């Protein structure tokens, strides 16, 4: 855990850095976030042997400092989080998972261990603490261990004070019972604090020295693996697998999935939520304990629909230069799930169905279905991105922009929001807007060939032939790195490496001819 000690950091250096992050990554750091910037600088400057914060920021401005600037991003951003985020999962936690865990632990005379991994500013672990308190659990019966990489977020979580708008999702009764008014907002009560232990922890670290094998009943790691590439996700899942008790559960984010990524867990359905489970000895990962619906028993890979199925697609956004993780795939086949009531369709399947409609030309219906999905879960990034793309294709430029802004509010470093925002700007011939968006995408993910290809198109349309050539060549050069499919749907986006290579070579040849 970082402390407030270390090299002195000038206010003017922080302001310069905030301006630089806005310019390069489109990241808005409010003065509230300066404390996080300060901690990040204190953590990083000594490793480079720099003691003057002005010198450090000067270095970040140079081309050679780009990598270092990018490495600060996870330390200075926290994606969206909320109390009781994903109501269906919390229903499962309240109705089944936590009561069962408490009962089992009481019989075994041990404490229930729950780990909120990537706890951000504490809303998730405090929500778990509320559920535990409502189930009558005492601190000696349950511990909620809450960890995050971002030191400023962990500190703020420990303080446990939230402005009024951040507690808006809590019922009056819970607010009155578990919080006390503090200034313009609320502070968590000692009852909740006693149940939660916060710590700094990097989930990408190769070893979890503080975790005893087989000791954790439930892990929540929601909306975190979006930051990781595929090897990092697999390594993390191995560590989670070892950390969980046999029969222990892992909850990922609403649209995150391990389909074709990691197969040691079973997938079970509990109260309408799909949840991963470490099999007990003698069970195989594919054995489905009695919790599952029939659709999942027939689990098979979803058919590739219309050439851009979202099943098992590689995905990453934001913080790194590495290839993307694979996620957000349903465990059941789209066919099997379609035979089930809508509640059994995963978000990915519902989005896929909406896109199938758009490909039949039923744009209004597709739009309505995507909006419905967002009504069910307003932090579904795939759905927001798809909504933006549909709106852009239908000529609703302002609505498209709003949807990408919403995606960025959920995940401030969402590469896709920048890429699709760039495409939407191109659509209305806002060339400077398109260029700005695509350059931000490429700052976040320099190896994304599609980004270079689209930027080349912007240059070409601006009449800048030399820059266009260079960008097309960059698009080809980046193909030596593994490329990922983007989150969200955009019909007919030339996003496979082969298509990009062909299109870039063709465009280059056409430019040479001119
Ligand atoms: C979008 S928030 C999710 C918060 C909460 N789990 C939820 O779903 O509402 C993602 C969190 O993951 C954290 N994170 C990103 N990379 C991490 C890493 N390598 N180790 C630990 N936490 C990380 C970020 O700091 C951020 O607080």
Name the residue with tokens 């279905």.
369
> Quick one: pLDDT at residue 290?
41
Three-state SS for 187?
strand
- The CATH architecture that domain 87-295 belongs to is 3-Layer(aba) Sandwich (3.40)
Residues above pLDDT 90, as percent of the chain: 75
Does the pTM exceed 0.75? yes
In this model, does residue 297 exceed pLDDT 60? no
In this model, does residue 164 exceed pLDDT 60? yes
| DSSP conformational letter for 139 | T
Given a contact cutoff of 8 angstroms between Cβ atoms, the answer to whether 146 and 118 are in contact is: no
Q: Which atom of ligand 1 is nearest to the CA of 75?
A: 25
Q: Which atom of ligand 1 is nearest to the CA of 80?
A: 1
Q: Which atom of ligand 1 is nearest to the CA of 411?
A: 1
* CATH 1.25.40.10 domain locations along the chain: 346-513
d(CA 336, CA 320): 36
Class of residue 52 by CB neighbours under 10 A (exposed 0-12, middle 13-18, buried 19+): middle
Given a contact cutoff of 8 angstroms between Cβ atoms, the answer to whether 40 and 76 are in contact is: yes
For residues 53-69, give the mean pLDDT. Answer: 95
Atom 3 in ligand 1: residue holding the nearest Cα: 223
Give the full edge-to-edge strand order of the sheet including 185-188. 161-163, 185-188, 179-182
| Distance of CA 78 from the midpoint of ligand 1 (Å) | 7
* CATH 3.40.50.150 domain locations along the chain: 87-295
> Quick one: pLDDT at residue 450?
97
In this model, does residue 394 exceed pLDDT 90? yes
| Distance of CA 148 from the midpoint of ligand 1 (Å) | 6
pLDDT 10s digits, 419-456: 999 999 999 999 999 999 999 999 999 999 999 999 99
| Distance of CA 205 from the midpoint of ligand 1 (Å) | 14
d(CA 26, CA 439): 10
The phi-psi region of residue 312 (left if phi > 0; otherwise alpha if psi is between -120 and 50; otherwise beta) is: left
Given a contact cutoff of 8 angstroms between Cβ atoms, the answer to whether 329 and 348 are in contact is: yes
Q: Which fold has domain 11-76?
A: Chemotaxis Receptor Methyltransferase Cher; domain 1 (1.10.155)
d(CA 456, CA 223): 32
Between β-strands 112-117 and 216-221, what pairing exists: parallel, antiparallel or unpaired? parallel
* CATH 1.10.155 domain locations along the chain: 11-76
Given a contact cutoff of 8 angstroms between Cβ atoms, the answer to whether 116 and 124 are in contact is: yes
| Distance of CA 406 from the midpoint of ligand 1 (Å) | 18
Confidence of residue 5 (pLDDT cuts 50, 70, 90): low
Q: Hey, which residues does 352 pair with through a beta bridge? A: none
| Distance of CA 120 from the midpoint of ligand 1 (Å) | 5
- How far CA 271 is from CA of 183, 205, 330, 339, 464, in Å, comes to 38, 33, 17, 19, 57
| Distance of CA 223 from the midpoint of ligand 1 (Å) | 7
Mutation pick for ligand 1 pocket among 1, 144, 148, 229 (CB with most ligand atoms within 8 Å):
148
Given a contact cutoff of 8 angstroms between Cβ atoms, the answer to whether 454 and 472 are in contact is: no
In this model, does residue 306 exceed pLDDT 70? no
Given a contact cutoff of 8 angstroms between Cβ atoms, the answer to whether 65 and 59 are in contact is: yes
Atom 27 in ligand 1: residue holding the nearest Cα: 120
Atom 7 in ligand 1: residue holding the nearest Cα: 81
> Quick one: pLDDT at residue 303?
31
- The pair phi, psi for residue 378, each rounded to 5°, is -80, 5
For residues 311-338, give the mean pLDDT. Answer: 36
Confidence of residue 318 (pLDDT cuts 50, 70, 90): very low
Mutation pick for ligand 1 pocket among 73, 149, 205, 236 (CB with most ligand atoms within 8 Å):
149
Q: Hey, which residues does 161 pair with through a beta bridge? A: 187
Tokens read off for 453: 């290809």
- The answer for residues whose C-beta is within 8 angstroms of residue 360's C-beta and 6 or more apart is none
pLDDT 10s digits, 379-388: 889 999 999 9
d(CA 329, CA 334): 10
- The pair phi, psi for residue 42, each rounded to 5°, is -65, -30
Confidence of residue 300 (pLDDT cuts 50, 70, 90): very low
> Quick one: pLDDT at residue 255?
77
Nearest of 223, 468, 416 to residue 328 by alpha carbon:
223
What end-to-end distance do the CA atoms of the chain give, in Å? Answer: 59
- Residues recorded for the chain: 514
Average pLDDT of the chain to the nearest whole number: 87
pLDDT 10s digits, 6-30: 788 999 999 999 999 999 999 999 8
| Distance of CA 502 from the midpoint of ligand 1 (Å) | 38
| Distance of CA 119 from the midpoint of ligand 1 (Å) | 6
What is the dotted CATH code of the domain comprising 346-513? 1.25.40.10
Q: Which atom of ligand 1 is nearest to the CA of 253?
A: 8
d(CA 5, CA 277): 42
In this model, does residue 343 exceed pLDDT 70? no
d(CA 394, CA 18): 36
Given a contact cutoff of 8 angstroms between Cβ atoms, the answer to whether 276 and 258 are in contact is: yes
For residues 343-372, give the mean pLDDT. Answer: 89
Mutation pick for ligand 1 pocket among 93, 120, 219 (CB with most ligand atoms within 8 Å):
120
For residues 93-102, give the mean pLDDT. Answer: 98
| Distance of CA 232 from the midpoint of ligand 1 (Å) | 14
- More reliable by pLDDT, 468 or 342: 468
Residues in the ligand 1 pocket, defined by CB under 6 Å: 74, 78-81, 85, 118, 120, 124, 148-150, 153, 202-204, 222-224, 227, 253
Q: Which atom of ligand 1 is nearest to the CA of 202?
A: 20
| Distance of CA 511 from the midpoint of ligand 1 (Å) | 44
pLDDT 10s digits, 459-484: 999 999 999 999 999 999 999 998 88
> Quick one: pLDDT at residue 259?
85
- The answer for residues whose C-beta is within 8 angstroms of residue 90's C-beta and 6 or more apart is 84, 127, 131
């Amino acid at each position: 855990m970082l402390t407030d000690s270390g090299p002195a950091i000038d206010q003017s250096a922080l302001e310069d850095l905030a301006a630089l992050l806005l310019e390069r990554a489109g990241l808005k750091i409010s003065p509230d976030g300066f404390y996080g910037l300060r901690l990040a600088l204190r953590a990083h400057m000594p490793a480079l042997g720099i003691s003057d914060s002005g010198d450090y920021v000067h270095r970040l401005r140079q081309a050679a400092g780009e990598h270092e600037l990018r490495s600060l991003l996870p330390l200075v951003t926290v994606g969206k989080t909320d109390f009781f985020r994903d109501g269906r999962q919390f229903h499962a936690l309240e109705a089944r998972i936590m009561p069962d865990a408490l009962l089992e632990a009481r019989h075994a005379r041990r404490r229930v261990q729950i780990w909120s991994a990537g706890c951000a500013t504490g809303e998730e672990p405090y929500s778990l603490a509320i559920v535990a308190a409502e189930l009558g659990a005492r601190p000696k019966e349950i511990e909620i261990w809450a960890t995050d990489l971002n030191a400023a977020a962990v500190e703020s979580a420990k303080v446990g004070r939230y402005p009024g708008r951040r507690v808006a999702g809590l019922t009056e009764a819970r607010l009155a019972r578990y919080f006390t008014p503090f200034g313009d907002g609320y502070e968590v009560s000692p009852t909740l604090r006693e149940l939660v232990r916060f710590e700094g922890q990097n989930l990408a670290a190769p070893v979890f020295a503080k975790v005893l094998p087989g000791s954790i009943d439930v892990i929540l790691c929601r909306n975190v693996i979006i930051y990781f590439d595929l090897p990092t996700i697999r390594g993390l899942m191995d560590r989670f697998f070892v950390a969980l008790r046999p029969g222990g559960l892992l909850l990922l984010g609403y649209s995150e999935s391990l389909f074709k990524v990691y197969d040691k867990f079973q997938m079970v359905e509990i109260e309408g939520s799909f949840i991963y489970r470490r099999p007990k000895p003698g069970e195989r990962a594919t054995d489905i304990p009695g919790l599952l619906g029939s659709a999942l028993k027939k689990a098979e890979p979803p058919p590739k629909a219309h050439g851009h199925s979202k099943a098992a697609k590689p995905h990453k956004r934001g913080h790194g230069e590495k290839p993307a993780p694979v996620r957000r795939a349903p465990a059941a086949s789209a066919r099997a799930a379609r035979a089930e009531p809508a509640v059994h369709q995963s978000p990915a399947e519902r989005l896929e169905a909406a896109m199938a409609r758009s490909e039949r030309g039923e744009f209004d219906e597709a739009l309505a279905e995507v909006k419905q999905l967002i009504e069910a879960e307003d932090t579904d990034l795939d759905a927001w991105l798809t909504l933006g793309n549909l709106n852009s294709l239908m000529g609703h430029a302002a609505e498209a922009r709003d949807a990408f802004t919403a995606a960025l509010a959920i995940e401030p470093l969402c590469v896709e929001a920048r890429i699709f925002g760039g495409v939407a700007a191109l659509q209305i011939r806002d060339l400077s807007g398109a260029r700005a968006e695509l350059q931000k995408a490429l700052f976040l993910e320099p190896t994304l060939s599609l980004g270079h290809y689209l930027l080349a198109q912007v240059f070409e349309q601006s009449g800048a032939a030399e820059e266009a050539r260079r960008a097309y060549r960059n698009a080809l050069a980046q193909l030596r790195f593994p490329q990922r499919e983007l989150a969200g749907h955009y019909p007919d986006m030339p996003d496979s490496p082969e298509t990009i290579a062909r299109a870039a070579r063709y465009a280059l040849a056409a430019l040479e001819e001119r």
